[in-house]
Structure formats: C-alpha cells, structure tokens
A and B are shown apart, each in its own frame.
Chain A
C-alpha cells in the first residue's frame, strides 16, 4: 500500500487516457441499454456490469491489485468491467462514480483515495439503487448503509503479526529495534505502527527509534543510514513496506553489516522484490498485504446483485512468509 498522498501532479496525457477510457465506457454502454437501475435485469442477462474506480498506479502493490481485478472480472466470469484510474485524485474518482451512476451499472466498486468526503456521491448511488463495494481502503462516514461491504486487509493485524513473529523469534535476547514508518498520517502507517507496538509490549524487544521513510526506497535508505550512524547496536528493523525495507538493506550493506543476520528485517507487503530479498536471506519475515482482491470482489458483487446478505467487513486472507516459505512461494507469485 505504498501510497503517496503527497503526489500532486497528474500526468496530462495519462489523464487524457483516463478520459478516453470513460468515453469508451459510455459508448460501450449503448448495447447494454435495458438496465433500468436494479440488479434484476442484469442478473437476468447473466452479465454483471461493474464500474470500478482505482486510486492510481503508484506502486507495484497497486499494479498487482489492478491486474487481479481486471483478470478476475472478465466476460467469461460473467462480468462487464468498466475500469477507470483516478490518478490519486478524489475529484476524478467522484466523477467516475457519477458517470457509472448515469450509465446505470449494476455494481460500483472503488478504492477511496482519501477517507472523507464521499457522502454526497454515495447518496446519489443509493438513490439510484446501485450497490457500492469498497476495496482496500475504508471511507469515514457515519452512515454505513451507503455501502454494502468493505473488502480489504486489516492493517493493525498486519503490524501485530509482524510483532508477534519478532517476539516469538527474538524475545529474551534484549533486541533493540528501529522502525521505518510509512507516510505520516496514512492509515497503513498508523495501524501497522499500532499493531507492532501492541505485539512487542511485554517482551524485551525495545523500540529505540522511529522515523518516516515515506514508503519509498530512497528515503528508507537515508533514514536507515542515519540510524546506523546514531546507534551501533540495532538488532531489528521493522519497515512498514517492502520498499523501505529494501532501502534499509542497501544502507546496512554499505555500513559493512549483513542484513538478515547482523540486523534482522521484518516488512509488510510481499511484492516481488521483497519476496526475492526474503528468499535471498536479506529479509527475515514478510507479512503479506494481499493485493489480489479480484476474486473476493467478484464473489461479493455476485451476491449483492443476487440480493443476498453480505458481510459489512471482509478481511482478506493475508499470508506471512519466512525465508523458507518465500523460497517455496516465489516461483508462483503473481506479483
């Protein structure tokens, strides 16, 4: 979830592409015609028209997430997917959702760029009787009837699993740990920090310092360089994502120490480069943040259209890997 909220500039021509996609969507809609707002007519024709608004394409994690959705919601699986990329902008997302409402799709799904400011557009969807499914990130709204279900990882749980493993492996050895945090204020950063801190409370692992690396390799490396100069007794690094962990590896190697041995590393995400480093023994443990939300989304969308009750909160199945598990899993990794 290496989202960078600071990013402001949306690529001009990429925005044009998005616009083109939307136009294409509207023209494709013509033959579908008959749908008059409910799920029934579409259910009758067996094809579910689903409008999806993605955050953007800011990280390897997000790219895998997009691919999973596009590969699952195919015509063969009974879906007509209308996909748009919001380029990290809420206004683009609201625009896309409005256009889906006008097109009277059967289901709207999206990963909210930010947590707030969705009530108005979700009310519109509700008035048009189009069910909404949230993926990956939640919205902060008083009224939880505005959406059917929220599918995504539990970030607190991810931090907790990372901490639990550290305690299980290293408790009793007086480890000193440092933390490379994600972008300050981002939900994954707050929750992973919380989960990890809760898990190591009561053990003799001590968190001696914590600093933001903004979810990027360059800053992860710079912060780790600073830590290595400041303390000469770091035993453990907890990085809120793989990329910062990979940056930390570079810094540790440059300081003449062996990552994974002299200094243990635990990260969250499980993108390919991270898994490779884990298999190579440079990272010790990765808690996966599963981007493959496509199958869950397909299942929930079908249930919603069929009028079945669905769970308000669906926590995706995240795995966790140690070095041996990574070697076994690496050949089959999809992302």
Chain B
C-alpha cells in the first residue's frame, strides 16, 4: 500500500457520516458498545434473557438481577471515581464493606428483637457512621499527613478484615430480620430496593458535582493540586471529603451486600471489590492520573462488570476459563478506550466521512484485491 489503506475499508463504512463519527468519538461509545454486545451474546444464547416478568408484585428477570447485584459495586465505584479524580486511590473499600456488614449484623444478632425497625435503623446508622469514620481516617492520612493514597489506604485494607473478624469472632454471623432484608433483597414499587438506593445516591452525587462547581474543583485538584491551591481552591478539604465519601458509600455497599444474603462473612464480603471498582472507573474512561472524570462512564463500567458475571453463568462458561474470559472482555474494552487506539479510530472515521462520497478519486492505482470499492 503506497499511500494509504483507507479507501479499501471505505466499503464497510458506506453509511459513515459526520454525525456517526461524532458518536464514535464520544467517550462513552465503546463502553456502551461493549455492554450492548454482552447483552446481545446473552440474548443469542438464551432468547428470553432480556425478558422481565412480574412475580409476587415485583419485577423478575435477568436484567433485574443485574441491576440488583450491581448496586454494591455501583456505590463503591462512585466513591472510587471521585477519589481517583483527585489523583488518589482507595484500596480499603473492600475492608470497609466487610467491617460495615460485620458491625450491622453483629448488632442485629445481639439485639433483643432483631426484627424491629428501630434495631435495624440503629444498625444501619452505626455501620454508616463507622464507614464515614474510616473514610475520614483515610482522608486524614492523605490530606493532612500527606501519605500517598495507595499506602494510606493499604493500611486499612490489610487491617480491616482483621477488624471485621474480631467483630464477628471468626464466624459467619447470620440473622433473621425482615426489615434488614428489605435493603438488599426487598422490592419497592416493583424494583429492587438495593438498586433504588444505589442509583438514588449515584444520581444525587452526579447532580451535586455537575450542577455545582464541586466537580470542577475536584478535577482542578486532580489536574494540579498546587495550582488549584494557589487559585484559592481548598485542596485539602476536597481530598479529605472525597475519601470520607468513599468510606461512607462503601459502608452502604457493605450493608446491601450483607443484607442480600443476610450474613456477614468477614473473609469474603467485598473481597477484591476495590479492583472491580477501579476497573469500572477505568472502563468508564476516567484516567488513573486524575483530573477529568466521568460518572456516567463509571455507571456503564459497573453495568458491564455486573453483566459479565451473569454472562458466565448464562452462557455456561467453564469455571476453569472464567478468569480468562473476563480478562479478554476487559482487555478489549480497555484497548478501545486507550487514547492511542481512540485517535486511530477517530482518524479512520474522519477519513471515511471525507472519502466516502467520492471513493474512486482516492483509490490507489495498484489496488487489485477484492477489497476494492464496488
């Protein structure tokens, strides 16, 4: 190919137009494509995959399962997005998830009446306050003492499960409490309560950061902390706040997770959720280098990860190759999201848009393969 290979591919993009190119260049384009592709694969394997029916006054079906099971990750990834936007990272979220569940269930199990609403609200309150306190602790280490976020949160990550084990005395604490079960497994207006809570919090935070200057301040701290401070942004307060929020959201996620199975498992609750959360943020197009962040990207990223888990069961992928399958999907999405790849793709669509109307004029004389435009 002496000049350029573009015309040879133009046939595939006969319908390419300027509008289409803009859609492709949108940061959310590839994550959404990945999500749609995953859903399509599932539907191909089982045509009824996307169908939702009504069962005992609530919606029932795989999409509902995805929405409910993604709730804890949604909350954790929300906090993680904000932390990452300030150039930080929070590795302790999984430990906070375990501690929050342990505290709430141990309290409910020890209460005289586990099924009373007061007990449950007290337990939820305690777990949330504790999550917030742990987040404030992380924020203190990072913003006041200036410890690198990865180290500061590593402390709680390693110690946290031990704390949770101490609280549950090494056992898996199980309770029977109808009001508590509502949070993770209940329904309201036909929709899972867990989803409503997680999406509600997500929407609230999204409004807060995008309709006020808060989001811009967070980004400015992430792009250049020193410059933002000189410009009058209270960088320390902002960093401290995002870590505190991450702790609070992880606490809430821990409550939903433990309520879903009505058990606090100090060893396994939220295990590796920090990695899933970071992954969701990255898939959503937020850079780990801090600065610009995309909550809608995180939202799609979380849905991709939740769908991926269900896909393994639905398609019947052997447990032996499950990690490989997940890695391939994630690698594909991350590749498509990488700046170099995006630039290449954008270039191609731009040229397609330009060359499509008059393909023959660009055609190199020596092209004699079957790829020639018809």
Residues of A within 8 A of B (CB): 4, 6-7, 9-14, 57-60, 62-63, 181, 184, 209-212, 214, 216-218, 221-223, 225-227, 229-230, 243, 246-247, 250, 254-256, 273
Cα distance A174–B171 in the bound complex, in angstroms: 39
Q: Is B165 a contact of A217 with CB atoms below 8 Å? A: no
Question: Quick one: CB contact mask for B86-107 with A, threshold 8 Å, 1 for yes?
Answer: 0000000000000000000000
Across the interface, A229 reaches (CB within 8 A) one of B65, B155, B170, B322, namely B65
In residues 311-343 of chain B, which contact A (Cβ within 8 Å)? 312-314, 316, 319-320, 322
Stretch of B28-36, B244-252, B262-270, B287-295 that contacts chain A: B262-270
CA distance A13 to B262 in the complex (A): 28
Closest residue to A85 on the B side, CB-wise? B170
Which candidate, B9-17, B156-164, B196-204, is the interface stretch facing chain A?
B156-164
CB distance from B131 to the nearest CB of A (A): 19
Instruction: Flag if A243 contacts B312 (CB, 8 Å).
Output: no
Q: How far, in whole Å, are A62 and B162 apart by their CA atoms in the complex?
A: 16
Residues A229 and B267 in contact in the complex (CB < 8 Å), given A247-B261, A255-B55 = no
| Contacting pair A225 B263 (CB below 8 A) | no
Contact for B309 among A12, A13, A14, A222, CB less than 8 A: A222
Binds A, one of B56-64, B137-145, B235-243, B356-364: B56-64
B257 close to chain A: CB less than 8 A: yes
Given A230-B46, A256-B60, are A63 and B265 also a contact pair (CB < 8 Å)?
A: no
B185 within 8 A of A: yes
The 8 closest A-B pairs by CB, nearest first: A11-B162, A226-B313, A212-B319, A217-B261, A57-B170, A14-B162, A216-B268, A184-B319
Most buried by A among B56, B261, B309: B261
CB of A212 within 8 A of CB of B322, answer yes
Question: Within the complex, which residue of B170, B174, B261, B312 is in contact with A218, where a contact is CB–CB below 8 Å?
Answer: B261
Contacts of B261 in A (CB 8 A): 217-218, 221, 246-247, 250
- Taken together as a complex, chains A and B put the C-alpha atoms of A9 and B322 apart, in Å, by 23
A223: contacting residue among B61, B165, B313, CB under 8 A:
B313
Residues in chain A near residue B160, CB distance under 8 A: 11
CB < 8 Å neighbour of B162 from A13, A222, A225 = A13
B265 contacts A217, C-beta separation under 8 Å = yes
Contact of A216 with B265 in the complex, beta carbons under 8 Å = yes
Q: Are A63 and B171 in contact (CB under 8 A)?
A: yes
Which residue from A63, A217, A250 sits with its C-beta under 8 Å from B170? A63
Distance of A223 Cα from B317 Cα, bound (Å): 12
In Å, the complex CA distance between A221 and B72 comes to 15
Q: Which residues of A contact B162 (CB under 8 A)?
A: 11-14
Task: Assess whether B233 is interfacial by the CB under 8 Å rule.
Answer: no
A229 touches B61 (CB 8 A): yes
B-side contacts of A225, CB under 8 Å: 65, 69, 310, 313
Docked-complex contact B171 and A226, CB < 8 angstroms: no
- Which of B61, B165, B171, B268: most chain A CB closer than 10 A? B268
Q: Which residues of A contact B171 (CB under 8 A)?
A: 60, 63
Cβ contact within 8 Å between A273 and B319: no
Quick one: which of B152-190 are within 8 Å of A by CB? 155, 157-163, 165, 170-172, 174, 185
Cα(A214)–Cα(B162), bound, Å: 21
